[in-house]
């Protein structure tokens, strides 16, 4: 349980700070003197945190499914020829600026969550795909041959041998992707999505540094919490493999 302690403490701090931000009003009055209102009140921080987290989780789930499926496909004998194409598509998704994706998607999908979800999925594909390929191709071929020799089918080898062995590397790719997208999701506030970027945008528009700090602190704390959670998951994965003698 000790491995989960940092993530638990950070998550608790994030929730307490989101719910109790008004208590810090004297501090933000010192940061932004002369402003009549220094605590962002248009939406509750808990509501913004929930929406922000929802966008990241949904985009991560879709991106993980697409990237891992693509990685599996191009590492099979029948899909090897598509490896360069899949890699190029994923690279384009990350090198294309999210703001540009939003500009192109808004006329088609409208304002709100849909355009930023599309941008987050595209932006998060490359780290997951790259690590999926590294994890699967880094497995000793003798391990696959031994599994096949034991009578396993190719699907069983994939599910029971390859994915568990490559899981630690794949998790590291998901960790990178999600951490990046926590910050990227904030720009969704520019097109009507309700995220922790709302106070940041409002602060920049109104010249209110206190608003900017409130959004930035919560976004940074969410990123730290998520990163700590993935670190705990990776350590647990390692322990699980060690317990079965891998």
What's the pLDDT at 1? 64
What is the residue extent of each domain of the chain?
2-243
For the CA atoms of the chain, what is the radius of gyration? Answer: 21
CATH 1.10.3720.10, applies to 2-243: yes
**Angle at alpha carbon of residue 236, lines to 61 and 168, rounded to 5°:** 55
d(C-alpha 193, C-alpha 28), whole Å = 26
pLDDT values of the chain reduced to their tens digit, one per residue, 246 residues = 677 888 899 999 999 999 999 898 888 888 888 777 888 988 899 999 999 999 999 999 999 999 999 999 988 888 888 878 877 777 776 677 777 778 878 888 888 888 999 889 988 888 899 899 989 988 888 888 888 888 888 889 898 889 988 988 999 999 999 998 999 999 999 888 899 999 999 999 888 899 999 999 999 999 999 999 999 888 887 787 666 555
What's the pLDDT at 243? 67
What's the pLDDT at 108? 82
What's the pLDDT at 198? 94
What's the pLDDT at 246? 54
Task: Count other Cβ atoms within 10 Å, centred on residue 34.
Answer: 6
Three-state DSSP state, 76: coil
Q: Would you give the end-to-end CA distance of the chain in angstroms?
A: 22
What's the pLDDT at 244? 59
Residue whose structure tokens are 């979800």: 117
Cβ–Cβ under 8 Å, residues 105 and 98: no
């Amino acid at each position: 349980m000790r491995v989960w302690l940092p993530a638990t403490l950070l998550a608790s701090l994030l929730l307490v700070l989101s719910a109790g931000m008004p208590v810090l009003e004297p501090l933000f009055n010192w940061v932004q003197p002369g402003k009549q209102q220094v605590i962002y009140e248009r939406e509750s921080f808990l509501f913004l945190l929930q929406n922000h987290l929802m966008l990241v989780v949904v985009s991560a789930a879709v991106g993980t499914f697409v990237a891992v499926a693509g990685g599996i496909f191009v590492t099979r004998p029948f899909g090897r020829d598509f490896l360069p194409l899949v890699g190029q598509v994923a690279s384009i998704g990350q090198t294309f600026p999210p703001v540009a994706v939003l500009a192109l998607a808004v006329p088609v999908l409208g304002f709100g969550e849909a355009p930023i979800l599309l941008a987050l999925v595209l932006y998060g594909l490359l780290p997951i795909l790259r690590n999926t390929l590294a994890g699967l191709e880094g497995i000793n071929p003798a391990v696959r041959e031994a599994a096949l020799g034991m009578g396993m089918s190719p699907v069983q080898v994939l599910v029971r041998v390859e994915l568990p062995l490559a899981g630690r590397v794949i998790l590291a790719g998901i960790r990178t992707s999600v951490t990046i997208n926590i910050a990227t999701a904030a720009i969704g506030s520019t097109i009507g999505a309700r995220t922790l970027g709302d106070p940041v945008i409002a602060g920049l528009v109104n010249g209110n540094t206190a608003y900017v700090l409130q959004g930035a602190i919560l976004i940074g704390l969410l990123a730290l919490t998520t990163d700590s959670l993935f670190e705990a998951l990776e350590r647990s994965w390692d322990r699980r493999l060690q317990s079965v003698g891998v």
